[in-house]
Amino acid sequence: MVKVYSTPTCVYCATLKQYLKEHDIAFEDVDASKDEAVFEEMVRKSGQMSVPVIEINGEIVVGFDKEKINELLNIKEQQ
């Protein structure tokens, strides 16, 4: 299960979601700017007020940390 906390104006969020799509990773996109409860959930889980925040099988990744995302999702990039 992959959940992406994002906002419509966040460039890194768009890049992250495109990256996941390119690797056929299904994810739930949650707009943290539209729902205060969602925003508070994201802050509680991550300790951060900035997006993107990615939850991968219960693990939290803050920002587009490609190395950590690849590790958690077992993505092997072409060299």
Residue of 44, 72, 48 lying closest to 20 (CA atoms): 72
Please list the pLDDT of the chain residue by residue as tens digits (79 residues). 999 999 999 999 999 999 999 999 999 999 999 999 999 999 999 999 999 999 999 999 999 999 999 999 999 876 5
Show me where the domains of the chain are located. Answer: 2-64
* Residue 54 neighbours by CB under 8 Å, 6+ apart: 2, 3, 4, 5, 16, 60, 61, 62, 69
Q: What is the pLDDT of residue 77?
A: 76
Please tell me the CATH code under which domain 2-64 is placed: 3.40.30.10
Record the pTM.
Answer: 0.92
Q: What is the pLDDT of residue 79?
A: 59
Residue of 33, 76, 74 lying closest to 53 (CA atoms): 33
Q: What is the pLDDT of residue 29?
A: 96
